[in-house]
Amino acid sequence: MEAPVAPLKTRERLSAVRYEIRGELARRARELEAAGHHLIKLNIGNPGAFGFRAPEHLQRAIAERIADTDPYTHQQGLPAAREAIAAFHRQRGTPNAASGRVFIGNGVSELIDLSLRALLDPGDEVLLPSPDYPLWSAATILNDGKPVYYPCRPEHGFLPDPDEIEALVTPRTRAIVLINPNNPTGAVYPRALLERIVAVAARRGLLLMADEIYDGITYDDAVFEPLAPLAGEHPCLSFGGLSKVHRACGWRVGWAVLSGDPLASGDFHHALDLLGALRLCANVPGQFAVEQALHGEDTIGALTAPGGRLHDSRRALVEACAASEHLSLVAPQGALYGFPAVVGEAARHFDDHAFALRLMEEEGVLVVPGSSFNVPWRNHFRVTLLPEADTLREVFTRIDRLLSRIARKRDTAAA
C-alpha cells in the first residue's frame, strides 16, 4: 500500500492575510447561486458587473492600435501612455512629474505590491488607515512588513488625526499610506488635513503613498485634493488607474507616479524599475487608452452630478439609512461605497460576519463585514453604490427587515 502523499506546506504569513471582499462569504454566495438562489451582490466595486461600460472613445483607442499590442513594451509602460500620465500630473501641480518617473502596472494592486517590495526590509512598519482597503495590509504582510493602523473614527467623519499618526512613528516606520477618496468609507480629505500629514512625513523622513484610484469620484461639494502637489519636494508615490473613474476594471491598467526630489528617491526608483523588469511589462492593449482617458472627454462627472446614476444611488443609500432606526451613516463624499453602522437594540452583541452570512442566506444580499477592513469595531458593513437607486432601496428594505428581527430577538431575550 502506497504511503499517503504529504500535504503541501504553504507560507505561514498567509495566515495573517484577510481579503473577505472575495473570501469565505463570496464562496458561500457561489454555492447558493449554484443551488438556484438569486443574490444581489454588493461586495465588489466592479462597475462592469452593474451594467457600466468603459467609455467608447477609450474602447476605440485600443481597437485602433490592436495591431501594435503583440510585443512586450518597456517595463515601466508605453512611452506615450507614461507621458500622458506625467502631463496629467503636471497639470495638477505635481513637482518633477516626468514620464521616466511613471510606472504602469497590471492595476494599482500590482503596483502596491511592487512598491512595498521595493521599500520594506523584514520588520519594517507601514502606517495604514483603519479602516483600510485590505490589499494594503495584505501586501505589507506578504512583503515581510508590519501594518500599523492609525484610526479614522466615524465620529470624526472617518478622517484621521495627524497627531495620532505621528505618535505611531517608530524607528522602523517607512511610509504613511493615504486612501483618498477613501474605500470603504467615502471620506474625502480636506487640504488642511493633507498638509498636516505631509508635515509629519517630512519631519520623520517617511515615504508618502497616496492611493487616489477614486480621484474623479466625488459628490456634492466635496473637493478632491491630490497629495503630490502638497508634498512638494518630499518623496510621494501617487496611484491611479482606469478601473474606477473610467469603469475599465478588467483592462488592468494602473499607474504610480513618483514625485519630489529625484535625488532623495533615486534608489527607490531603481528598485521599482528592477521589479517591473522582472515581471517584463504590464498589459499592453489597455495602455493605448490612457491618453484619451486623462486628456479626452470627461465621462464620470455626469454620473456623480445631481441626476447622475451614482449620485442617485448615493442619495438612496443616505435616505435609507436616515429612515432606519437600526442604521447610522457618515454620508460618503467620494468613491463608490457606503459604510453604515448598526446601532440601537440590533447592535447589542452584534457580529458583522454572522450578520453578513444571515443577510445573504435569509435575504439574498451579499455585503462585506466592516471588520474585513481592519477596524476594531464589529458593527459596520460595506456596500457599493454601483447598483441602480431602486435596487439599493430594495437592498436596504431587506437589511432593515433582518435587523428588525435581530432587535426583536434581543428585546425578547432581555425580557
User: What proportion of the chain, given as a percentage, has pLDDT over 90?
Assistant: 89
Question: What Å distances lie between residue 215 and 70, 110, 183, 211, CA to CA?
Answer: 31, 19, 11, 9
Computed over every residue of the chain, the mean pLDDT equals 94
111's CB contacts (< 8 A; 6+ apart) are: 103, 105, 239, 254, 255, 256
Q: What is the mean pLDDT of residues 405-410?
A: 83
Q: Which CATH class is domain 56-295?
A: alpha beta
Q: What is the mean pLDDT of residues 277-300?
A: 95
More reliable by pLDDT, 11 or 53: 53
If we measure between CA atoms, which residue out of 193, 187, 137 comes closest to residue 164? 193
Given a cut of 80, whether residue 364 has pLDDT beyond it is yes
Interval 106-153: pLDDT, tens: 999 999 999 999 999 999 999 999 999 999 999 999 999 999 999 999
pLDDT at 12: 80
Architecture of the CATH domain 12-52+302-414: Alpha-Beta Complex (3.90)
Q: Please state the domain extents for the chain.
A: 12-52+302-414, 56-295
Interval 232-286: pLDDT, tens: 999 999 999 999 999 999 999 999 999 999 999 999 999 999 999 999 999 999 9
Interval 6-29: pLDDT, tens: 887 778 877 777 766 667 888 888
Calpha distance 193→23 (Å, rounded): 34
**What pairing do the DSSP bridges indicate for beta strands 207-211 and 236-241?**
parallel
pLDDT at 410: 63
Calpha distance 85→101 (Å, rounded): 10
Q: What is the mean pLDDT of residues 319-337?
A: 97
pLDDT at 411: 59
Helix (H, G, I), strand (E, B) or coil at 271: helix
Reported as a pLDDT band with limits 50, 70 and 90, residue 413 is: low
pLDDT at 3: 77
Q: What is the mean pLDDT of residues 366-377?
A: 93
Given a cut of 70, whether residue 414 has pLDDT beyond it is no
12-52+302-414 and 56-295 share one fold:
no
pTM as predicted: 0.93
Q: Residue type for 357, please?
A: L
Interval 212-223: pLDDT, tens: 999 999 999 999
Given a cut of 70, whether residue 61 has pLDDT beyond it is yes
- Sheet strands side by side (includes 368-369): 337-338, 381-384, 368-369
What is the sign, positive or negative, of the torsion defined by CA atoms of 91, 96, 99, 102?
negative
Reported as a pLDDT band with limits 50, 70 and 90, residue 1 is: low
Calpha distance 373→375 (Å, rounded): 6
The grid cell for 243 is 478601473
- Radius of gyration of the chain from its Cα atoms, rounded to whole angstroms: 22
Calpha distance 44→24 (Å, rounded): 14
Question: What Å distances lie between residue 290 and 36, 83, 150, 308, 388, CA to CA?
Answer: 40, 10, 34, 24, 28
pLDDT at 239: 98
CB atoms within 10 A of CB 414: 8
**How far from each other are the two terminal CA atoms of the chain, in whole angstroms?**
62
pLDDT at 409: 76
Q: What is the mean pLDDT of residues 180-204?
A: 98
pLDDT at 15: 73
pLDDT at 5: 85
